[in-house]
Structure 1
Amino acid sequence: MNSTLIIIPARLASTRFPAKPLAPLIGADGIARPALHYTWQAGLAAARKIGSNARCVVATDDERIAELCQAQDMAVVMTPETCANGTERCAAALEVLGEQPDLVVNLQGDAPLTPAAFVAALATLIEADPSLAMATVAVPASPAVLAHLQSDAAAGRVGGTTVVRSSTGRALYFSKSIIPHVPPGTVPRENVLLHLGLYAYRPAALQDYASHGPVPLELQEGLEQLRFLDAGLPVGVAVCEAPAWEMIELNNPTDVPLIEAELARRAGLEPA
């Protein structure tokens, strides 16, 4: 890729955890910093992994987040409050910036534990296949993760998003149900793939997404990426090996100590 723009959508409005980008997280060094700081660091690590023509910017609709970014030397762009999801916010950020990079990466603001290698895998995948409009990441669900998903499903809870893909590696469908179906008491013939909310888009695909508008399946499942499939845009799925740490997202206040533990754990696993 000649140029890559990593956009970190961040907003304060959250039903489960209001103002979570500003929530303090204690890092491996024992210092508490806003959660967005750690996602920004993950973005910088991904930019370094991709190469010299990659950079990061935070996209927000809130002045408090913008002030934090400015105080901590994070590039930031203001986007409309009307953006319904992170993909729409990335499209809006690109329009405000007036840029046309070769690739746009959506690194969600509540995902500070995202490995840089996953972002690089997306860049490699979409560069190798010019027909792809968008690419995303999945990891094989381990037996323990699959059992957890099945337990959540039995209890009526949403435990994660799964994806099925074609033999050519393109997404066929995403769901908050377990797909493909795994009959009780059986071992799946193929791995159930756990989808991770990390995306890479071509700028034209982002524009198509924004103009296409929400679709029924997207609204029913609560999965923004289904709009790409409804529009007939090809979506590649990079299957990566799960990292040595748990990729917990900051969705609820109860996630704070879990993420802090993984930040410390990751620091002990990565080379100095």
Structure 2
Amino acid sequence: MSVLVAIPARYASTRYPGKPLVELRGAMGQAKSLIRRSWEAARAVQGVDRVVVATDDDRIRTAAEAFGAEVVMTSTTCANGTERCAEVLDTLGGGYDIVVNLQGDAPLTPAWFVEELIAGLRADPMAEVATPVLRCDGMALNGFLADRRAGRVGGTTAVFTAENHALYFSKEVIPFTSDHYGDHDPTPVFHHVGVYAYRPSALGAYPRWAAGPLEQLEGLEQLRFLERGHRILCVEVEARGRQFWELNNPEDVARIEEMMAGMGLE
């Protein structure tokens, strides 16, 4: 099954304008832009036929082409990364069995997250979309809770059925737990990793649906599938000692650089 990875990147982020071009320093001090680090993460995934950056901004296009990325220009009317990926597939004329949306703000995404995601979608013929979830340890959960207390969105959490089909995604920390956890204790909270694998039929239909109330309230694009009754497979992945965090706010730059330094990632 042929696989296309698209990396949506827009300059006009509401919370962090210009985010794709923000530079992050690795363990040895080398600075690379967020979009370059996300592209390198996509290139490390095994079994992928093509990787493209999808943007509507010439500044991002210029920067991406400078480090060797293939760029597909998309319209400024795309409401989110899923709509941008759908436009990419249409522009390229289809021809792929699975399209992966590796969001451009997640440079710490390990290759095996995406590889297991693709394998999960292949193995579940009833699922139309798949996305990874990572069980939070106490440190991650406490970080989420601290962000919410400070009025920041630190990440998205997911709840799902015994068959791993999504029930809901939220920027609040769900499910609620009153227990206290040590830094390395497993918790019942799952961090939703912002990567998606779509079957082309589901991806092609998505832009034709109006955003529902839950998507608009949460600002989470995947809720459009759930509100339309389509099945999302949550694939549980293992960190294997790697830390993971998206770049959502300016404060996250230092947090991600500290994580890269701790893991020795250049």
Assess same fold via TM > 0.5: yes
Q: CA distance change for structure 1 residues 113 and 90 in 2, over 3 Å: closer, same or farther?
A: same
Instruction: Report the 3-state secondary structure (helix = DSSP H, G, I; strand = E; otherwise coil) of the residue aligned with 1:69.
Output: helix
Q: CA offsets, 1:173-210, max 9 Å, x none? A: 1122232332x3478x9722121111110111111211
- Which range moves more in the overlay, 76-85 or 168-177? 168-177
Instruction: Report the 3-state secondary structure (helix = DSSP H, G, I; strand = E; otherwise coil) of the residue aligned with 2:96.
Output: coil
Report the counterpart of residue 131 of structure 2 in structure 1. Answer: 136
- Which range moves more in the overlay, 58-67 or 236-245? 236-245
Q: CA deviation at 1:256?
A: 2.3
CA distance in 2, matches of 1:69, 1:185: 45
Report the counterpart of residue 171 of structure 2 in structure 1. Answer: 176
Amino acid at match of 1:201: Y
Q: CA offsets, 1:227-258, max 9 Å, x none? A: 00111111100111224233222223332233
Report the counterpart of residue 232 of structure 1 in structure 2. Answer: 229
Q: CA offsets, 1:26-50, max 9 Å, x none? A: 233433222211111000001xx2x
After TM superposition, list the pairs within 5 Å mapping 1:175-214 onto structure 2: 175-182=170-177, 184-185=178-179, 191-214=188-211
Q: CA offsets, 1:143-167, max 9 Å, x none? A: 3333444455556554432211111
After TM superposition, list the pairs within 5 Å mapping 1:60-209 onto structure 2: 60-153=55-148, 157-182=152-177, 184-185=178-179, 191-209=188-206
What percentage of aligned pairs have identical amino acids?
49
Give unmatched runs, 5+ long, in structure 2: none
Amino acid at match of 1:261: E
Q: Is the 8 A contact 2:137 2:187 kept in 1?
A: no
Report the counterpart of residue 264 of structure 2 in structure 1. Answer: 267
Normalising by structure 2, what TM-score? 0.90
Aligned partner (choices 245, 249, 259) of residue 248 of structure 1: 245
Q: Is the 8 A contact 1:5 1:104 kept in 2?
A: yes
CA distance in 1, matches of 2:106, 2:154: 16
Q: CA distance change for structure 1 residues 263 and 159 in 2, over 3 Å: closer, same or farther?
A: closer
Report the counterpart of residue 5 of structure 2 in structure 1. Answer: 6
Q: CA distance change for structure 1 residues 17 and 154 in 2, over 3 Å: closer, same or farther?
A: closer
Q: CA distance change for structure 1 residues 215 and 109 in 2, over 3 Å: closer, same or farther?
A: same
Report the counterpart of residue 32 of structure 2 in structure 1. Answer: 33
CA distance in 1, matches of 2:73, 2:131: 25
CA distance in 2, matches of 1:264, 1:210: 40
- Which range moves more in the overlay, 148-157 or 85-94? 148-157
Instruction: Report the 3-state secondary structure (helix = DSSP H, G, I; strand = E; otherwise coil) of the residue aligned with 2:264.
Output: helix
- Which range moves more in the overlay, 143-152 or 167-176? 143-152
Q: CA distance change for structure 1 residues 151 and 64 in 2, over 3 Å: closer, same or farther?
A: closer
Across the aligned residues of Structure 1 and Structure 2, the Cα RMSD in angstroms comes to 2.3
CA distance in 2, matches of 1:262, 1:76: 29
Q: Is the 8 A contact 1:100 1:203 kept in 2?
A: no
